[in-house]
Amino acid sequence: MRPPIDSGTVLITGASSGIGRELARQLARRARTLVLVARREERLEALRDELLERNPTLGVVVERCDLAQPDEVDSLLDSLHRHLVRVDVLVNNAGLGDYGLYEQESWARIHQMVQVNVTAPLLLTHRLLRRMVERKRGGILNIGSCWARAFLPGLAVYNGTKHFLDGFTESLRLELMGTGVVVTQVAPGPVDTEFNEVAGTQTLAGRAPSWLRISAAQCAREALEGFDRARPLVHPGLAYRWLVRMSSLMPRGVLRAAGLPAARQLRHGTSLLDPAHPDTGQRVLLAGGPEGV
């Protein structure tokens, strides 16, 4: 069973940048209509012009929406309903992280992360899924993260939101077996986008090495290949896929221990492996590493 992308209507959140924009570019050759959602409307409009140049028969709907505001999400859905836009495939891609100690983060920022990464996908899915089930055709593509099954000090809230999305997507997929609705989760490792800039992690030591990083275009391509095959979980990028396989063999205690140097570095500005540490001459590497570092 394939998701109804071809000649269907696909709504993509976070289409103004990174993975979402690349998904839109690649879907423009296949979908009948794309609904592009984000806050930066001028970017969405520029993308619409670019997509129409590639495929003049494509329908493109630009919807400026702050996904951190549930009433704006409701207005977006009402507007689609009024204009008789029936969504066949929902891509929950928009997301953000923020680096820092939890107690020092502003509550506004924490709330925004939870609203965009968790509440908005829940609300959009809730409002669009019933019709998909009734029509016996539909697709939900959720962009999670490599951190959905790991731990990372400094990104506790982001990490938690992606753990939530992981459990939600896997359970939803089981609920929807045999209904005609395809559910796939993509858990990317490090992808070259604006994510690190927004999260404040672009200058951290121990950033993921170049052999592990992939482009947003590659991430989108592998995400769609997995979705077309109705795969439950996609890890884009060969090297990262191997890393995921190896780390899945590690006991939880080892993953916890792996996070300790980064946690110490974050709270005290020093680590047992820090060059400034009098007991060692070694340099600290942040634990785990792919995304956000």
| Burial (CB count <10 Å: 0-12, 13-18, 19+), residue 89 | buried
The nearer residue to ligand NAP, 133 or 217, going by C-beta atoms, is 217
Per-residue contact string for residues 3-32; x = within reach of ligand NAP by CB under 6 A: -----------x-xxxxx------------
- 240 included as an active-site residue: no
Rounded to 10°, the helix 156-175/107-114 angle is 20
Instruction: Identify whether the C-beta of residue 259 lies closer than 8 Å to the C-beta of residue 153.
Output: yes
Contacts 24+ apart (CB under 8 A), 255-260: 255/150, 255/151, 255/288, 256/151, 258/287, 258/288, 259/151, 259/152, 259/153, 259/287, 259/288, 260/287
Nearest C-alpha neighbor of 247 from the set 146, 144, 160, 162:
146
Binding of residue 66 to ligand NAP (CB under 6 A):
yes
The nearer residue to ligand NAP, 93 or 271, going by C-beta atoms, is 93
| Neighbour count for residue 255 (Cβ, 10 Å) | 16
- In this chain, which of 3, 4, 8, 95 binds ligand NAP, going by CB under 6 A? 95
Binding of residue 96 to ligand NAP (CB under 6 A):
yes
Nearest-approach distance from CB 13 to ligand NAP, in angstroms: 6
| Neighbour count for residue 221 (Cβ, 10 Å) | 16
Nearest-approach distance from CB 155 to ligand NAP, in angstroms: 10
The nearer residue to ligand NAP, 3 or 190, going by C-beta atoms, is 190
The nearer residue to ligand NAP, 96 or 181, going by C-beta atoms, is 96
CA dihedral of 225, 227, 230, 235, whole degrees rounded to 10: 80
Q: How far apart are CA 74 and CA 167, in angstroms?
A: 24
Instruction: Identify whether the C-beta of residue 107 lies closer than 8 Å to the C-beta of residue 68.
Output: no
Binding of residue 93 to ligand NAP (CB under 6 A):
yes
Binding of residue 284 to ligand NAP (CB under 6 A):
no
Binding of residue 195 to ligand NAP (CB under 6 A):
yes
Nearest-approach distance from CB 290 to ligand NAP, in angstroms: 7
- In this chain, which of 191, 284, 287, 293 binds ligand NAP, going by CB under 6 A? 191
Judged by CB under 6 A, the stretch of 37-45, 169-177, 232-240, 258-266 that binds ligand NAP is 37-45
Q: What are the Cα distances from residue 278, in Å, to 54, 205, 259, 263, 287? A: 60, 20, 21, 19, 21
Three-class SS of residue 182?
A: strand
Binding of residue 38 to ligand NAP (CB under 6 A):
yes
Instruction: Identify whether the C-beta of residue 39 lies closer than 8 Å to the C-beta of residue 16.
Output: yes
Judged by CB under 6 A, the stretch of 103-111, 138-146, 255-263, 278-286 that binds ligand NAP is 138-146
Instruction: Identify whether the C-beta of residue 262 lies closer than 8 Å to the C-beta of residue 153.
Output: yes
Nearest-approach distance from CB 153 to ligand NAP, in angstroms: 17
Candidates 99, 102, 158, 240; catalytic one? 158
The nearer residue to ligand NAP, 65 or 182, going by C-beta atoms, is 65
- In this chain, which of 26, 30, 32, 39 binds ligand NAP, going by CB under 6 A? 39
Catalytic residue IDs: 158
Which residues make up the interface to ligand NAP (CB under 6 A)? 14, 16-20, 38-40, 65-68, 93-96, 116, 143, 145-146, 188, 190-191, 193-195, 198, 291
